[in-house]
């Protein structure tokens, strides 16, 4: 039979390394179901400060509080067998008796006194007198349940049916209780008060740790928010610069068209043409500035802009209808960006009458949704899979649609 290295509480699972700890645990919690365990209580010692920890949870808390992460396992060094049947008081007396001289006689051994009513109950259940007496003696003479539990745990012991014997002076000590009931209550109250104070101190310490953690997380969130605001500010500046470039190119094209119309009227009226340099077009600067647009992703954004420009030019006589289509597309993109997990915002039925009136009847509307990630499923449905939702693409789509709606020169030529 393996030697017990610790005591385990059967009610809460706590592991205790001595009988004294088990007694204190029982007084604080009223748990009485203890059993021997061959698993030793952990003894993990911090390599930096020397603090002992009894579990992985304690090491984690110590590491979180101090930053010390190196521990030495000294469980095997500190583990000692627990002998529940060895009375500690008899050892020094036996030693003193042995040291008294060769002529000293052997100490008298007697049967321990147990509760007669509990003994009768066990015997009525079929337990032999020796086994019942042994069970009551080693279970603390407290209750029938404790004695039965002790028998169940020690039924394989070779001396289970032998009558227990204790020194005569031990029997006398047993007959005299060490504490009165009032003193026991006072002692239990002191232990509970001590445990309460210890628990309050631990809660205060944990609250301080949680407050430090909240402060650290708050600082990190503020820093992340600041970086996000800086990036958003840069993106808005880039979009405004792109809008100004777009307006400038549109004005240049309008000016060129006016110059050409003016020259055509002079020709029809028979007037001499103006100076060649006054109406000379300047397309190269327009082409060079196309590459200066800082939209991300550049290729997708340019394709979206060209699609919207083509849609407006194909329906240039229907400004109200085009503007309503742009606003509807902006609503679709915004709904998906704000609710990417909602399938209803990622599904569009092509045969829906409202969709046909606003977008489906305009050439370029469905192409713009496909650039946003929507895919055709047959001839009746546009669907954007959840894993295909790209926030950068949706943000670019929203920026291009806002620019198309707000810019009066967008797609004029």
Please tell me whether residues 69 and 122 are part of one structural domain.
no
412 domain-assigned? yes
Question: Which range among 35-44, 81-90, 258-267, 333-342 has the greatest average pLDDT?
Answer: 333-342
308 domain-assigned? yes
pLDDT, residue 102, reads 44
235 domain-assigned? no
Q: What is the number of domains present in the chain?
A: 3
pLDDT in tens, 293-327: 454 445 788 888 888 888 888 887 888 888 898 89
Q: Supply the CATH number for residue 136's domain.
A: 1.10.8.10
Q: Are strands 52-53 and 44-46 parallel, antiparallel or unpaired?
A: antiparallel
* Position 269 pLDDT exceeds 60: yes
What are the contacts of 392-396 at 24+ separation with CB within 8 A?
A: 392/296, 392/297, 393/297, 393/300, 394/333, 394/336, 394/337, 395/337, 396/295, 396/296, 396/297, 396/300, 396/301, 396/304
Please tell me whether residues 67 and 145 are part of one structural domain.
no
- Final residue belonging to a domain, choices 137, 154, 175: 175
69 domain-assigned? yes
CA–CA distance, 64 with 46 (Å, rounded to integer): 13
Please tell me whether residues 56 and 131 are part of one structural domain.
no
- Final residue belonging to a domain, choices 121, 151, 175: 175
| pTM of this prediction exceeds 0.75 | no
Range of the domain at 144: 90-96+107-175
pLDDT in tens, 366-388: 888 888 889 888 888 889 898 88
Contact 43, 78 (CB under 8 A): yes
Question: Residue 7: beta bridge partners?
Answer: 16, 36
Torsion sign (Cα): 144, 150, 156, 157: negative
| Helix H or strand E encompassing 26 | helix 19-29
Q: Supply the CATH number for residue 395's domain.
A: 1.20.58.2190
Please tell me whether residues 68 and 166 are part of one structural domain.
no
């Amino acid at each position: 039979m393996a030697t017990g290295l610790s005591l385990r509480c059967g009610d809460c699972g706590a592991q205790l390394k001595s009988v004294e700890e088990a007694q204190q645990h029982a007084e604080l919690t009223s748990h009485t179901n203890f059993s021997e365990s061959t698993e030793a209580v952990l003894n993990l010692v911090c390599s930096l400060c020397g603090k002992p920890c009894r579990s992985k949870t304690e090491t984690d808390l110590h590491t979180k509080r101090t930053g010390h992460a190196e521990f030495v396992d000294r469980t095997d060094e500190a583990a000692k067998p627990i002998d529940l049947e060895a009375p500690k008081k008899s050892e020094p007396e036996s030693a003193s008796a042995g040291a008294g001289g060769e002529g000293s006689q052997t100490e008298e051994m007697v049967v321990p006194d147990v509760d007669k009513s509990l003994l009768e109950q066990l015997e009525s259940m079929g337990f032999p007198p020796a086994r019942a007496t042994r069970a009551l003696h080693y279970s603390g003479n407290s209750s029938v349940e404790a004695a039965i539990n002790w028998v169940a745990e020690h039924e394989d012991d070779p001396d289970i049916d032998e009558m227990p014997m204790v020194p005569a002076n031990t029997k006398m000590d047993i007959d005299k209780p060490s504490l009165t009931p009032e003193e026991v209550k006072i002692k239990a109250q002191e232990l509970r008060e001590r445990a309460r104070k210890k628990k309050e101190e631990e809660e205060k310490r944990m609250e301080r740790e949680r407050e430090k953690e909240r402060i650290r997380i708050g600082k990190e969130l503020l820093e992340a928010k600041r970086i996000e605001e800086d990036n958003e500010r840069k993106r808005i500046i880039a979009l405004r610069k792109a809008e100004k470039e777009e307006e400038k190119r549109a004005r240049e094209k309008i000016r060129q068209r006016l110059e050409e119309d003016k020259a055509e009227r002079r020709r029809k009226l028979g007037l001499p043409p103006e100076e060649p340099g006054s109406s000379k077009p300047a397309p190269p600067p327009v082409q060079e500035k196309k590459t200066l647009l800082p939209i991300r992703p550049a290729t997708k954004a340019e394709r979206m802009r060209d699609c919207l420009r083509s849609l407006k030019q194909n329906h240039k006589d229907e400004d109200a209808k085009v503007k309503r289509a742009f606003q509807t597309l902006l609503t679709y993109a915004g709904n998906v960006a704000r609710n990417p997990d909602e399938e209803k915002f990622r599904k569009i039925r092509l045969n829906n009458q409202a969709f046909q009136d606003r977008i489906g009847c305009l050439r370029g509307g469905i192409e713009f949704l496909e650039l946003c990630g929507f895919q055709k499923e047959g001839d009746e449905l546009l669907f954007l899979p959840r894993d295909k939702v790209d926030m950068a693409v949706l943000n670019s789509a929203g920026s291009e649609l806002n620019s198309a709606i707000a810019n009066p020169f967008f797609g004029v030529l």
